[in-house]
Amino acid sequence: MTHAFEAEGLVKRYGKTTALAGIDLAARRGTVLGVLGPNGAGKTTAVRILATLLRPDEGRAAVAGLDVVRHAAKVRRLIGLTGQYASVDEDLTGTENLVLIGQLLDLRRPAAKSRAAELLADFGLAEAADRPAKTYSGGMRRRLDLAASLVGRPDVIYMDEPTTGLDPTKREDVWNIIRNLLSDGVTVLLTTQYLEEADALADDISVIDHGRVIAHGTPAELKRIVGGQTILIRPADPDRLAEAATLLGAIAGRTPESPSRGVITVPVDGDAAFTEVVRGLDRQGIAVTELSLRLPSLDEVFFTLTGRHTDEEAAA
């Protein structure tokens, strides 16, 4: 058994909604699997099945080779779960929250206390340890929630959108904490709506849409498919948009998109294209008010893979 967890052909229906339509996911021990998908793609449903909280209608899932339905109690001892919505008790302090969880996990009180202190220090919450969680900022709560999932020293951790709603600097704090965890050899399933996040943390990424995997690979492989980076241009004179689009299209070898008025974007394979675009704009005397190079957004990844935007329903 080389996989820390695996899911095969998972199907889950809620009435007429098919949340999972035969999804396959797997992670090797000690690696991070990023599950990237928009709202409603089925991320939380898949996590809940892998965490024994929900039964699949079809398919199977296992943690360390143990079936999540038949061996649910054993599986629970191996896993930690941290959700999109913090599960901490607002009225308890940081320490009390973690000690309570330790005791639920059958730790004796002194052991629970020392584990709590250790985690609070690791997560930069030592100063706030004796304050009720309701006084914590969003970033602090998220860190407390992550700490809570680690009290039992799980081998496998499911992180369901751990940074959604956090501002970019707080997001990076959480990323650093996750990176530290990884040095301990745990296996992580990380769901996210941000390609940057999957790129920063995951060894492999499964892109999911409507309960199915639509692309899978290493971050490098995926970026090769969807274009490693995106160039964005806003010409100062909107009348020159078409000219700029022709230039951008010729350099990138792809047709640019116009995600909003006056702006064009196109995925490119390497940084060199950016220099060429700057030279071309200069040569043609096209002034710009905005020019940037960034990783594609989830929406752009989706558009490349499916021809749809993330907010368009596949009504057809």
Quote the CA–CA distance of 104 and 87 in Å, as a whole number: 15
In the complex, least distance from residue 249 CB atom to ligand ADP, rounded to whole angstroms:
33
Quote the CA–CA distance of 10 and 48 in Å, as a whole number: 12
Partner in contact with 88, chosen from Mg ion, ligand ADP, none, beta carbon below 5 to 8 Å by kind: none
User: Which member of 4, 21, 34, 37 binds ligand ADP (CB under 6 A)?
Assistant: 37
Specify the length of the chain in residues: 316
Instruction: Locate 84 and state its tokens.
Output: 């999109």
Per CB under 6 A, 280 contacts ligand ADP: no
Q: Which one of 13-21, 92-100, 140-148, 268-276 is the stretch in contact with ligand ADP (CB under 6 A)?
A: 13-21
Partner in contact with 310, chosen from Mg ion, ligand ADP, none, beta carbon below 5 to 8 Å by kind: none
In the complex, least distance from residue 39 CB atom to Mg ion, rounded to whole angstroms:
7
Quote the CA–CA distance of 12 and 53 in Å, as a whole number: 13
User: Which member of 5, 6, 35, 44 binds Mg ion (CB under 5 A)?
Assistant: 44
In the complex, least distance from residue 8 CB atom to ligand ADP, rounded to whole angstroms:
18
Per CB under 6 A, 43 contacts ligand ADP: yes
In the complex, least distance from residue 236 CB atom to Mg ion, rounded to whole angstroms:
41
Buried b (16+ CB within 10 A) or exposed e, 144-175: bbbbbbbbbebbbbbbbbbbbebeeebbebbb
- With contacts defined by CB under 6 A, how many residues of the chain interact with ligand ADP? 11
Looking at residues 73 to 112 of the shown chain, list those that interact with Mg ion (rule: CB under 5 A): none
Looking at residues 225 to 264 of the shown chain, list those that interact with ligand ADP (rule: CB under 6 A): none
Burial environment of residue 298 by CB neighbours within 10 A (0 to 12, 13 to 18, 19 or more): buried
DSSP assigned state of 64: T
In the complex, least distance from residue 207 CB atom to ligand ADP, rounded to whole angstroms:
12
CB hemisphere CA count around 279 (13 angstroms): 6
Beta bridge partners, 238, equal none
Name the residue with tokens 């008010």: 289
Instruction: Locate 294 and state its tokens.
Output: 């960034």
In the complex, least distance from residue 238 CB atom to ligand ADP, rounded to whole angstroms:
36
In the complex with ligand ADP, which residue's Cβ is closer, 41 or 264? 41
Quote the CA–CA distance of 34 and 231 in Å, as a whole number: 24
Per CB under 6 A, 22 contacts ligand ADP: no
Q: Which one of 32-40, 91-99, 262-270, 294-302 is the stretch in contact with ligand ADP (CB under 6 A)?
A: 32-40
Quote the CA–CA distance of 110 and 132 in Å, as a whole number: 21
Helix extents (H) in 154-266: 168-182, 195-201, 219-226, 241-252
Partner in contact with 17, chosen from Mg ion, ligand ADP, none, beta carbon below 5 to 8 Å by kind: ligand ADP
In the complex with ligand ADP, which residue's Cβ is closer, 23 or 148? 23
Per CB under 6 A, 82 contacts ligand ADP: no
- With contacts defined by CB under 5 A, how many residues of the chain interact with Mg ion? 2
Interface positions with ligand ADP (CB under 6 A)? 14, 17, 19, 37, 39-45
Residues in contact with Mg ion by the rule CB under 5 A: 43-44
